[in-house]
Each structure stands twice: as structure tokens, then as C-alpha cells.
């Protein structure tokens, strides 16, 4: 399959995965031939890209960081009406534990962002990725701590207006204060509360609260880092960035916004280019990402589609490939030669 931007789809393209709505309903099944009206509807829904069957890419496939069943369960929880209560919090904890089990199964793999077509809206996709990424960032820590950090991410999105208006979380550093006040009546783990209260703190002391450096709680650092990165990717005001550019922004703020070691951890986990994405190599050759390794996600295995080595499959981790660099996403439907 090829992950194709929505503006490059054409009538006659065949879907290579299932497209779901926010309530888990199947909107388009795998193997559907797209029509012009379908493509217009996809664009109206805000779907940025869709996996398409593509000649020569038949053996390229990817699995989401979470199972579709668990994604659906999380989305259904997020769309519940009413205030937080013992039952909804208990269900959130149960979902986080299931996510932890899946994260353990995949912790040696790179973290490829879950697509909007797999979830439904940009905000919900941001939200699902947020919880999953916090789990991945904390998988080396004590499980109870990491689950508390992920629970903070889960609770942070509950009943947020973005669930209805398809907007990402606003940058208001105090947006969790009302939530924390509501949570204090329940037996919420202290690490979860601290993570929520401090996740807008910044390493140089410029955030809210004005904590600095190692005084910032570790869970808050992980949640704040994941939130900022994913906001770059899933914001809906026309200023969103592809994953590789969002990572560059985060890396540029290492030691100021977030601790250098936390940023390095994000860089070691997140895949800047997705499986099936067509990319530019060394500013001139075109290639498709065939596999993203867990030990070095920025150096995937690629299949060259143009240039003197067209047809070769190259592992960019190999010593003789160190000078070869992916420089951008290829932004056209077809490529030369």
C-alpha cells in the first residue's frame, strides 16, 4: 500500500485499509474503488491521507500502534456524556491497562502515528496518539507510574470541546485546573494529578507553573512533550506540520522547552516518516518507506523509485548508507522515470 495525501487521490484508486467514523462505524471498507464524490467527502471530513493500493507496493503494510478494537473502545469512552464519576474513571483505568499490555508487545517497534482515517477526527486522533505516546515514552519506568501518566492524558481529553468541534487542545496552560478540582473528590493516583498540574511547565522555567529543570515532575515532562509534538501534527487551523518537521521543532527546543534526554527519547521512538510514504532522498531521488526499524526510526528501509539505483531496497542503517538522507516527503502523485 501507499499512504497517499488526500489532494493526490484520483477516481479509480482503491483503498488499502478501512476508514472509520468517530463512533467506530465503517465508512469505507478495504478494497473500495474511490469516486470523485467520495474523494470530495474525504476532503470535507478533514482526512489528510489514505492508504491506497499501489502497483509494486503490494507487500508494504503497517499495523497501528494500538489495535483498532482498543482505539474504538477509547473513542467510545471519550464520547460519553455527563461528568466524570467512579464508573467512567474506572473504565479509563481499565483501558489504560489494556493499552499498556499492547505497548509492551510493541515497545521494540518504532511509534508510527495512528492516522485520522483510523480514528475519525483530527482531535480524536491527537487524543488517541497522546495516550499511546505517553505510554511508549514511559515504558522503561515502573508500570504503575507510566499508567498514571497515561491516565492523566486520558482524563485530560474527557469531554473536551475538541471532541465535538474537531479542534486540538488549546495552548491555555491552565486548561486542566477545573479538571483537577473535579478529580480531587476521587481516589486518583497522586502521580496522575501532579502530571496534569505541571505538564505546561518548561525546562527553562518559562512555563506554567514556573518550575524549572529537574524540579518538573517526570510524568508532566512526558505528557507536555507528547502534547506539544502532537499538537504540531494534528492542529486544524491550517498550520499543522508533517511528523518529521514537528520533530525538528521539538529538537530545536531541547534544553529550553524540555529536557534534552526527554527529547532524545522522543526522537528514538517516533517514526518521522510512515510506512508506505513516498519520500525524497538526497534532494533528488524518490523512494518509498518499506519498513521503519524500532532501533533507529529515522533510518528506515526504503525502496528506490528513481535514479541510478532504481529498484534497489536499501537499509539506511547500514554503514555504507550513512551519507544517504531522507530530506522531505515527496509531494507529487507520480515520479520521474
Mean pLDDT of 209-230: 95
What would the pLDDT profile of 284-326 be if each residue is shown by its tens digit?
Answer: 999 999 999 988 999 999 999 999 999 999 999 999 998 999 9
The reported pLDDT for the residue numbered 149 is: 97
- Check if the beta carbon of residue 310 is closer than 8 Å to that of residue 317: no
What 3-state class would DSSP assign to 15?
strand
Residue 266, pLDDT score: 97
Determine whether 76 is exposed, middle or buried from the number of CB atoms within 10 Å of its CB (0-12, 13-18, 19+).
middle
pLDDT, one tens digit per residue, over 171-189 is 566 677 878 888 888 889 9
Q: How far apart are CA 152 and CA 192, in angstroms?
A: 5
Structure-derived torsion over alpha carbons of residues 183, 187, 188, 190, reported in degrees to the nearest 10: 110
Among residues 290, 271, 286, 316, the alpha carbon closest in space to that of 57 is found at 290
> How do residues 122-167 score in pLDDT, each as one tens digit?
888 999 999 999 999 998 888 899 999 999 999 987 656 666 566 6
Asked whether the predicted pLDDT for residue 219 surpasses 70, the reply is yes
Question: Which band of pLDDT confidence, cut at 50, 70 and 90, is reported for residue 78?
Answer: confident
What's the rounded Cα separation, in Å, for the pair 221 and 227? 10
Q: Which pLDDT score is estimated for 225? A: 97
* pLDDT of 214 higher than 90: yes
Mean pLDDT of 29-33: 94
Amino acid at each position: 500500500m501507499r499512504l497517499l495525501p488526500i489532494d493526490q487521490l484520483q477516481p479509480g484508486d482503491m483503498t488499502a485499509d478501512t476508514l472509520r467514523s468517530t463512533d467506530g462505524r465503517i465508512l469505507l471498507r478495504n478494497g473500495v474503488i474511490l469516486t470523485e464524490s467520495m474523494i470530495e467527502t474525504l476532503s470535507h471530513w478533514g482526512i489528510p491521507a489514505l492508504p491506497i493500493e499501489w502497483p509494486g507496493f503490494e507487500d508494504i503494510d503497517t499495523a497501528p500502534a494500538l489495535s483498532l478494537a482498543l482505539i474504538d473502545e477509547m473513542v467510545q469512552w471519550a464520547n460519553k456524556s455527563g461528568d466524570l464519576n467512579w464508573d467512567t474513571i474506572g473504565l479509563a483505568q481499565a483501558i489504560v491497562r489494556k493499552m499498556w499490555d499492547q505497548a509492551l508487545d510493541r515497545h521494540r517497534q518504532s511509534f508510527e502515528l495512528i492516522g485520522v482515517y483510523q480514528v475519525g477526527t483530527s482531535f480524536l486522533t491527537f487524543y488517541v496518539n497522546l495516550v499511546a505516546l505517553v505510554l511508549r515514552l514511559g515504558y522503561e519506568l515502573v508500570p504503575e507510574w507510566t499508567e498514571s501518566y497515561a491516565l492523566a492524558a486520558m482524563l485530560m481529553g474527557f469531554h473536551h470541546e475538541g471532541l465535538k468541534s474537531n479542534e486540538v487542545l488549546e495552548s491555555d496552560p491552565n486548561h486542566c485546573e477545573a479538571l483537577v478540582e473535579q478529580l480531587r473528590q476521587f481516589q486518583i493516583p497522586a502521580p496522575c494529578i501532579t502530571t496534569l498540574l505541571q505538564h505546561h511547565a518548561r525546562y527553562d522555567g518559562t512555563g506554567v507553573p514556573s518550575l524549572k529543570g529537574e524540579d518538573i515532575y517526570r510524568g508532566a515532562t512526558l505528557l507536555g512533550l507528547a502534547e506539544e509534538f502532537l499538537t504540531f501534527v494534528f492542529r486544524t487551523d491550517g498550520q499543522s506540520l508533517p511528523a518529521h518537521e514537528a520533530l525538528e521543532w521539538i529538537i530545536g527546543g531541547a534544553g529550553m522547552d524540555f529536557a534534552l534526554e526527554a527529547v532524545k527519547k522522543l526522537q528514538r521512538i517516533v517514526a518521522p516518516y510512515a510506512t508506505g510514504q513516498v519520500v525524497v532522498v538526497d534532494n533528488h531521488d524518490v523512494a518509498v518507506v518499506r519498513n521503519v526499524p524500532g532501533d533507529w526510526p529515522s533510518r528506515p528501509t526504503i525502496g528506490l523509485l528513481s535514479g541510478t539505483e532504481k529498484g534497489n531496497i536499501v537499509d539506511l542503517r547500514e554503514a555504507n548508507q550513512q551519507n544517504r538522507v531522507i530530506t522531505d516527503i515527496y509531494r507529487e502523485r507520480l515520479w520521474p522515470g
